[in-house]
Amino acid sequence: MALFALRRLLLSIPLLIGITFVSYVVISLAPGGPLDFLTPEDPNASPEVKERLVKEFGLDRPIHVQYWHWLKRAVRLDFGRSFLPDGRPVLSKIGERLPVTLFLNIIELAIIVGLAVPIGVLSATRQHSLYDKITTVFVFVGFATPDFWLALLLMILFGVQLGWLPISGLRSLNWEYLTFWQQQWDFFSHLVLPIVVATFGGLAGFSRYMRQSMLEVVRQDYVQTARAKGLTERVVISKHALRNALLPVVTILALALPGLIGGSVIIESIFAIPGMGQLMVQSVFSRDYPVVMGNLVIVASLTLVANLVADITYGLVDPRIRFGGRRGRRSRRPGGRGAGRCASSGARSPTTSSRCAGARWSASSCSWPCSRPRWLRGTPTGPTPATSSTRRRAATGSAPIPSGGTCSPGCSTARGSRSRWASCRSASRPRSGCCWGRRPATTAGWWTTW
Amino acid sequence: MATRRARVRALLVWAAGLGLATACNGPIESRTDESVAAGPPAYGDTFIQASIGDIGGLIPSLTSDQSSHEVGGLIYDGLVKQDKDLNLAPAMAQSWTYSPNCLELTFKLRHDVKWHDDYPFTADDVVFTYEAMINPKTPAPFKEGFLLVKEAKALDPYTVQIRYDKPYARAVETWSSTMLPKHLLQSFADAGTMRESPQNSQPVGTGPYRFQEWKPGEKVVLLANPDYYEGRPYLSRIVYRVIPSQATIFLELKANGVDYVSSLTGIQYKRQTEYPAFRKAYHKFRYPGGDYTFLGFNLKDPRFADPRVRQAFAHAIDKRELIDGVRLGLATEANGPMRPGTWAYTDDVKRYEYDPAKAKALLAEAGWKDRDGDGVVKDRDGKPFTLTIRTNQGNDERKKIAEIVQQRLKEIGIQADIQLIEWAAFIKEFIKPRRFEVVVLGLGTGSDPDQYVVWHSSQRGPDQMNRTGYANEEVDRLLEAGRASCVQKERVHYYRRIQEILAEDLPMIFLFYRDSLPAVAARIHGVNPAPAGILYNFEKWYVPKAQQRYTSG
């Protein structure tokens, strides 16, 4: 794992350089330059001033030279100073905007996840019910509602008509004169509208995602088996199905990382919140190259890190990926054949795999795939994994599904009690593990660009 | 503040979008529901102003954006300022005198002016400001006026003498510029690092307000300067809130969250603010601004080189219709490039009434006739008259103008397309290389009528301001003469003649001057609309004790 992470990190470096280079070229090619905004269309702005500034900013050199100079400083984390008349260092400009955006987005994301999971699960388990239909409508309304429009409506209602909430900004202008608790309340009341608006759209998409993922999982054989064993529906859903359905959430969470930094231009502009989104847009409009590039490096690095984190955490929660490499190598050896076979049916049921490898999720039904009736084992249900569509590529690349299969001894004997399960775990991990297929083609391959 | 604003506007900016208007002697109107019995002037209260953009920096000489100059105008002062009638008046200079040949200008400074850090303001600061501005290392966008100065020297601590090589009509106006503190900036100016100096984040000026704090992207806070040489301003605290959305600013206004907006839109002025609660909370004002909107021709295009075609366009366009349709009537018809009400203005020029028949006749005279009855005029070779009206994206008014004009041109058999282009690309790809046929744009007027850079034939280069490519020998001569004199009585004749010729030649069709439509909270008293607008006496605005809303400050 460490090696994998290291390799990925090293590979990120040329990628990052590529991203910044392309960005630098593109922003330089955009019509107009920083000087058109510093020295506007104005007869009193002398061309001599422009030339002077062009020299000072180094814009008279060819683009690749400019980029090289930028890169040399950037590797020392020196992003230079803004071209704007305030001439402040890029990092301090970003630094003062980052906390606000980060704070807002983390709260927003937490609320989205907290609400979307139950909404999605409920509407999946009650598919076609009235509740499901209502949430479906809600979701499409959420998708279709433009942020700014909703924001304005809420501002008119709560800010102007009812006067309950402040319209814009993060603090009242008399903030310094408030007591501590008044300040908290003041801050909170300023946050309500932006967070509600930002959450609404995200909630819609995310809950839909959750629903889809859950729907796929509850159709899996192992869920059926869990039911067949007589487990209550609640246990089946919350213990067996939900944990698997949540796997894509991990991906989404990790991939939301760059979004946390990027901020939302529309929300920030409408609510007059001085965050990163605004900074980025303003710097693009004023062709403030150093700030644009500084921002870009941060967001691009975070995207790359987020991808890596997504893959690693995915491996952590989904052992098929974590142990895939080892298992794969083994199964290709003659001795590993049996285990590989067993895994083949299990490959489609991560619950099983995690049960065997992680041993934390649901010990009581550890090795059911191995003990399935032969007819069931023999009929693969298709290559769709228990995960949602984003992971589909991973899984389709993962394991061919041989029919039939035998169980690894360690696992099949582990059925039943906890103590025996423990032995299953200890036996399965080093030796073969009952429930594993071949490693996904490459753990990284499904997502990132290489 | 009035000085600074006026100065920014005085620059002939091709206004990118927002109206940056001030005033003139046209109809001045203030709409209020009731006039509260004004108590006596009192100190205190906070004045909250919404600003759509953040300030660029706190040394206004280095910035070119409106917000920086507004805030800077309160922190700094110039030697002269614009009074309510748009004339130059003393500020930090008590008086000024010209030598008879217009080459020497002498300022007598006030003795009681102090920087906010208690240093006295002297002639040395003036000379320093001049030297800093002409220093090639100083990235000041507007230094042209200073570059024409031959020499500036301090005769004594309170007398400055400026000498010019040749008479410069706008000499005094140059000195309405921000004065900079020598004791704080000398080393930075010499090193060319003024942008990075503490002055740019913690400014020390001589103006009515002292700098308190700047939270980038959020707000700028200023406090009244108790030692201001014209007396402490009444309003104790000024907060510039940065609200990047026009819609949000308006909602804040409706919720009484801001005390002042510089310009309502037409529909806001006419409809959305016409309810009792708003009229009780705010006073609305209306006065003609200083920017005009025009339809410009590319005179290098052989079709538009023919004055009859340009006149045909003028007769095809109904300015009243444009004003009513685009500005809801909130604009003043324009017939020339001089701001109505200023001393150089004349309305005794040729006008072109809306008359499509006459327009068609003029086109026919120029060889453009509908030869096959399909409604489109063609030249002798059967080539139809088609063109593209271009303007910048994001300015709804200009877009609507283009649409109305398109319709009107169709009536006289001209087929026009409309193209909207992002501002930077528009300037670079179309305006500068003069790759356009007809454009809709705006132009600002200054307090001085000198428009050499816009109309002189030497100013037709790609980076110069004579965008239409206009050249007329007589206008050239008049512009040169007008520029070289400091005697207003002589200059009047030159500029009136220029207006007559321009109305005849029509290098562009002058459409209208937009009205400025500010709204000020009703609790603020002392607001007196004048030709220069309302902000010229900002220091004298006050809130009577009983109506003060914010205790802080």
In chain B, whose CA is at the least distance from the CA of A54? B139
**pLDDT above 60 for A344:** no
pLDDT > 80? residue A103: yes
Model pLDDT, residue B82 = 86
Q: Number of H helices and number of E strands within chain B? A: 18, 19
Kindly state whether B72 is in contact with chain A, defined as any CB-CB distance less than 8 angstroms: no
Which of B57, B136, B428 lies closest to A86 in CB terms? B57
> Within an 8 Å CB–CB cutoff, is residue A76 touching chain B?
no
Sole residue written with tokens 């920086």? B68
Residue B309: both structure tokens together: 């075609």
Whole-prediction pTM value? 0.74
Please say whether the beta carbons of A291 and A57 come within 8 A: no
Using an 8 Å Cβ cutoff, are B77 and B140 in contact? no
Lowest mean pLDDT of A98-112, A366-380, B467-481, name the range: A366-380
> What is d(CA A342, CA A404) in angstroms, rounded to the nearest whole number?
8
- Per-residue pLDDT, B508: 93
What pLDDT is stored for residue B352 in this prediction? 92
Summarize the confidence of residues B10-18 as an average pLDDT: 35
Count the residues in chain B: 553
Q: Is A40 on the interface with B (CB under 8 A)?
A: yes
Nearest in space to A107 (alpha carbons), one of A208, A204, A194, A211: A194
Q: How does pLDDT run across B296-307, given as a tens digit for each residue? A: 999 999 999 999
User: Considering only CA atoms, which of B361, B401, B371 is closest in space to residue B509?
Assistant: B401
Size of interface A-B (CB pairs under 8 A): 165
**CA angle, B114 then B116 then B119, to 5°:** 50
Query: What band does B400 get if pLDDT is binned at 50, 70 and 90?
Result: very high
- What's the pLDDT score for residue A199? 85
Letter string b/e over residues B256-280, b meaning 16 or more CB atoms within 10 A of that residue's CB: bbbbbbbbbbbebbeeebeeeebbe
Looking at the DSSP assignment, which residues form a beta bridge with residue B97? B106
Decide if B552 and A282 are in contact by the 8 Å CB cutoff.
no
Decide if B455 contacts B475 (C-beta within 8 A): yes
Arithmetic mean of pLDDT over chain A:
69
| pLDDT at res. B123 | 94
Inform me whether the C-beta atom of residue A174 falls under 8 Å from chain B C-beta atoms. yes
Q: Three-state SS across A344-392? A: HHHCCCHHHHHHHHCCCCCHHHCCHHHHCCHHHHCCCCCCCCCCCHHHH
Statement: residue A388 has pLDDT above 60 = no
Q: Choose between A259 and B489: higher pLDDT.
A: B489
Q: pLDDT-derived band of residue A169, with 50, 70 and 90 as boundaries?
A: confident
Per-residue pLDDT of B471-514, as tens digits, reads 999 999 999 998 888 888 889 999 999 999 999 999 999 999 98
Dump pLDDT digits (tens) for B136-182. Answer: 888 777 777 888 899 999 999 999 999 999 888 888 888 998 999 99
For testing contact with chain A, the best of B51, B59, B64 (most A CBs within 10 A):
B64
Residue B471: per-residue pLDDT: 92
pLDDT at A277 over 90: no
Quick count: other Cβ atoms within 10 Å of Cβ B88?
A: 21
Which carries the bigger pLDDT value, residue A197 or residue A59?
A197
CA distance A173 to chain B (A): 8
Asked if the C-beta of B200 comes within 8 angstroms of chain A's C-beta atoms, the answer is yes
What's the pLDDT tens digit per position in B224-259? 999 999 999 999 999 999 998 888 999 999 888 899
More confident residue, B259 or A401: B259
Cα distance from B53 to chain A (closest Cα, Å)? 9
Q: What tokens were used for B423? A: 């501002």
Q: What is the pLDDT of residue B404?
A: 95
Exposure of B293 in the CB half-sphere (CA atoms within 13 A)? 31
Percent of chain A with pLDDT over 70: 66
Residue B180: predicted pLDDT: 94
Q: Tens digit of pLDDT for each residue in A191-229? A: 999 998 888 877 887 888 888 888 888 888 888 888 888
Which residues 457-476 in chain B show a CB within 8 A of chain A?
459, 463-465
B contacts of A155 (beta carbons < 8 Å)? 248, 251
**Do the chains contact at B251 and A159, CB–CB below 8 Å?**
yes
Q: How high is the pLDDT of residue A310? A: 78
Q: What is the pLDDT of residue B116?
A: 94
Instruction: For residue A39, name the pLDDT band (cuts at 50, 70, 90).
Output: low
Q: Which residues pair with A327 in a beta bridge?
A: none
Q: Could you give the CA distance from residue B496 to residue A284 in angstroms, rounded to a whole number? A: 44
**Nearest by CB: B243 against A45, A177, A272:** A272
- Best of A37, A44, A84, A267 to mutate (most B CBs within 10 Å, chain B): A44
pLDDT in tens, B91-150: 999 999 988 888 899 999 999 999 999 999 999 999 999 999 988 888 777 777 888 899
Pick the most confident of A303-307, B17-21, B301-305, B426-430.
B301-305
B305 touches chain A (CB under 8 A): no
| CA distance to partner chain A, nearest, from residue B256 (Å) | 9
Q: Is the pLDDT of residue A425 over 60?
A: no
A119-166 pLDDT per residue, tens: 888 888 888 888 888 888 888 888 888 888 888 999 999 988 888 888
Contact B247 A169 (CB under 8 A): no
Amino acid found at A20:
T
Higher-confidence residue: B271 or A406?
A: B271
Contact B121, B92 (CB under 8 A): yes
- Residues of chain B neighbouring A95 (CB-CB closer than 8 A): none
Q: Is A29 near chain B, with CB under 8 Å?
A: no
Inter-CA distances, B370 with A143, B306, B307, B379, B404, Å:
53, 18, 20, 9, 22
Would an 8 Å CB–CB cutoff place B52 in contact with chain A?
A: no
What pLDDT is attached to residue B311? 93
Mean pLDDT (chain B) is 86
CB contact, 8 Å: A271 with chain B? yes
pLDDT at A380: 36
B309 near A CB under 8 A = no
Question: B213 at the A interface (CB within 8 A)?
Answer: no
Residues constituting chain A: 450
A36 and B428 within 8 Å at the Cβ level: the answer is yes
C-alpha span between A401 and A345 (Å, rounded) = 7
pLDDT of residue A338: 35
pLDDT at position A402 = 36
**pLDDT of amino acid A258:** 74
For testing contact with chain B, the best of A86, A164, A187 (most B CBs within 10 A): A86
Closest partner CB to A32 (pick from B57, B62, B428):
B428
Indicate the pairing of strand B93-98 with strand B508-516. Answer: unpaired
pLDDT in tens, B336-373: 998 887 888 888 899 999 999 999 999 999 999 888 88
pLDDT at B2 over 50: no
Token pair listed for A143: 């998708």
A38 vs B402, more confident: B402
- Tokens 């004791």 identify what position? B183
The alpha carbon dihedral of B204, B210, B213, B219 has a sign of negative
Confidence bin at A37 (pLDDT 50/70/90): low
Whether B433 has its CB under 8 Å from any CB of chain A: the answer is no
- DSSP assignment, residue B249? H
Angle A138-A140-A141 from CA coordinates, rounded to 5°: 65
**pLDDT score of B510:** 93
| CA–CA separation, B197 and B230 (whole Å) | 29
Give B512 to chain A, closest Cα distance, Å.
21
Q: How confident is the model at residue B31 (pLDDT cuts 50, 70, 90)?
A: low
Sign of CA dihedral A238, A244, A250, A251: negative
Q: What is the pLDDT of residue B80?
A: 93
Burial of A4 (0-12, 13-18, 19+ CB in 10 A): middle
